[in-house]
Amino acid sequence: MDNQAAASTITNKQTAGEPRKARGRVSIIVERCKGCAYCVEFCPLGVLVMSPDFNSKGYHYPTVIHAEKCSGCDLCGMYCPDFAICGSRQPTKE
């Protein structure tokens, strides 16, 4: 890969070796979750997985494993029938 190609792969003013900053954030209300896993299934970026732990009602709930990938699209919140999760965009500092 030449220098020009290497430079073009770095996006969003990110330097090589610098961790990617999340553009979005996921908020989860664990006790509202009934474990349907729609949020995990419909997340286009694979940000969520179902936790091996249980909430007080005995359901597995989602947990964030790749926060840096979150775009804040809120598909997780749109598909959640219990309003237990939502995604939001973080303000950018430019």
Vertex 25 angle, CA 67 and 51, to 5°: 55
In the chain, the domains with their CATH numbers are 26-94 (3.30.70.20)
Pairing between β-strand 48-54 and β-strand 60-64 as defined by DSSP bridges:
antiparallel
- What does pTM read for this prediction? 0.72
pLDDT value, residue 43 = 96
Mean pLDDT by runs of 10 across the 94 residues of the chain is 41 52 89 97 96 97 95 95 94 68
